[in-house]
A and B are shown apart, each in its own frame.
Chain A
């Protein structure tokens, strides 16, 4: 509460230096007062009334106060709402304040508040992401990224983006596996997500491996669902497609193995890929390597 008052005092102090605004807009002052009394509904109603004044609309401080009130409202009433309209309004107001604040007096305060809201967006995205809900987390993560890039362009969000996209790819993969038809939109979405990670982080072991396994499992799935009555000419085409998929899987798994030579799953997958390509000698080599690795691990 003390901290909140301190921040509101900034606004009051600034407003005190603006007798024109003060005189003409009692709603703005009333909004302050309500906010100080923690009456968020009244504060919100009065600040919106104040904002209908064209003069106030051009005032950075007024927008700062509006942002602050909406942030209060969000925390008090909508903190569990991952699509909170109050949060959207708070962000919009702080942004507007920054844009109008040519003197840069409010810059740090605007940024601090935006950063707080950005982190809340991020955390909501992280908490809510699962197979039943991925669209809101995507939106929330994008909000986080946009705000952070705006207020701290020197601070990279790359790490967080990789984490989030990897988790998103897993969600898509799980959705695909829940209904693994040969063509499935979630399969393409999972591949798209892994591709985005690999574009910014080509040496990401998990992304290389998981993407490779997606191709691998797709190849195996092709024949798994095939009826025994398939005619042999059609089966030839099926083998063709399967080989193509195994060959797409191979460089990705090889890379995961190069990056992490102790990764048993990659060695096992390489053995499987070569088996799928009917290269039994190479398959056997990797199988022996895997056994060696397991033995070494056991002996340690």
Chain B
């Protein structure tokens, strides 16, 4: 009887390793959602209610800027169009409603809080202890989750009004 051999399994090559999705983009999405949510829970001074709503990012954090731009292309802050700026020099930053200072750019940008004093800018940082150094919102990691701390006092110094809902969502801080 004619023997039939097992064919070489062409389909085994289908078992290629799958592509890994970009975790950095995911992290950027969370921060973008937070930053966008702040526009709903915080009231800016009257002279900040005209023109574009500017969210500045110190440095050139590509994935965050990309995610923010994606958000800005479909969302608004109330009636204001959202504009995303990559900031390389605080003095030349112009009027920002929100300024995010990533950890890796802290040394380069120095004491951002004092430079923003009196402006209606919400300074957002991501390093433990930053509320003591003048930031109003600080991202921290709690049980592997990205959360945020809030300093109402620092926000008020910037003439910003924080809603009670946002206060309730913040993680308590010892700062």
> From A269, which residue of chain B is reached at the shortest CB distance?
B20
Q: Count the A-B residue pairs with Cβ separation under 8 angstroms: how many? A: 131
A272 proximal to B (CB < 8 A): yes
A127, B10: Cβ atoms closer than 8 Å: yes
Contacts of B36 in A (CB 8 A): 228-229
B50 proximal to A (CB < 8 A): no
Task: For the A-B complex with A112-B1, A246-B144 known, give 4 more contacts whose Cβ atoms are closer than 8 Å.
Answer: A129-B11, A223-B29, A228-B74, A239-B146
Contacts of A23 in B (CB 8 A): none
B114 proximal to A (CB < 8 A): no
Provide a sorted-by-A list of 15 A–B residue pairs whose CB atoms are within 8 angstroms: A113-B1, A126-B9, A171-B14, A173-B18, A217-B18, A228-B36, A228-B75, A232-B34, A232-B37, A233-B169, A236-B145, A239-B145, A273-B23, A275-B23, A279-B144
Surface stretch bound by B, among A31-39, A50-58, A82-90, A116-124: A116-124
Contacts of B143 in A (CB 8 A): 243
In angstroms, Cα B34 to Cα A276, docked, is 17
Residues 190-236 of A at the B interface (beta carbon under 8 Å): 206, 209-210, 213-214, 216-217, 219-221, 223-224, 226, 228-233, 235-236
Contacts of B33 in A (CB 8 A): 226, 228, 230, 232, 235
Contacts of A268 in B (CB 8 A): 20
B1, A170: Cβ atoms closer than 8 Å: no
Closest 9 A/B residue pairs (Cβ): A220-B21, A167-B11, A275-B23, A272-B23, A278-B141, A170-B14, A239-B145, A123-B7, A119-B4
Contacts of B27 in A (CB 8 A): 275-276, 278
Residues 80-99 of B at the A interface (beta carbon under 8 Å): none
**Nearest-CB distance from A115 to chain B (Å)?**
9
Residues 1-47 of B at the A interface (beta carbon under 8 Å): 1-7, 9-12, 14-27, 29-30, 32-34, 36-37
B4, A216: Cβ atoms closer than 8 Å: no
A116, B23: Cβ atoms closer than 8 Å: no
Contacts of A169 in B (CB 8 A): 15
In angstroms, Cα B32 to Cα A225, docked, is 14
Given contacts A228-B33, A230-B33, contact A220 B22 (CB under 8 A): yes
In angstroms, Cα B71 to Cα A148, docked, is 58
A243, B9: Cβ atoms closer than 8 Å: no
A229, B29: Cβ atoms closer than 8 Å: no
In angstroms, Cα B24 to Cα A73, docked, is 60
A166, B12: Cβ atoms closer than 8 Å: yes
Contacts of A119 in B (CB 8 A): 4-6
Q: Which of B4, B24, B71 contacts A120 (CB 8 A)?
A: B4
In angstroms, Cα B144 to Cα A273, docked, is 11
Residues 258-295 of A at the B interface (beta carbon under 8 Å): 265, 268-269, 272-273, 275-279, 283
In angstroms, Cα B4 to Cα A127, docked, is 15
**Nearest-CB distance from A5 to chain B (Å)?**
11
In angstroms, Cα B169 to Cα A277, docked, is 21
In angstroms, Cα B16 to Cα A166, docked, is 10
Contacts of B14 in A (CB 8 A): 167, 170-171, 174
> From B169, which residue of chain A is reached at the shortest CB distance?
A232
Instruction: Name the residue among A221, A229, A268 with the largest chain B CB count within 10 angstroms.
Output: A229
A123, B4: Cβ atoms closer than 8 Å: yes
A265, B1: Cβ atoms closer than 8 Å: no
**Nearest-CB distance from B96 to chain A (Å)?**
19
Contacts of A246 in B (CB 8 A): 144
In angstroms, Cα B30 to Cα A214, docked, is 21
B10, A206: Cβ atoms closer than 8 Å: no
A240 proximal to B (CB < 8 A): yes
Contacts of B3 in A (CB 8 A): 116
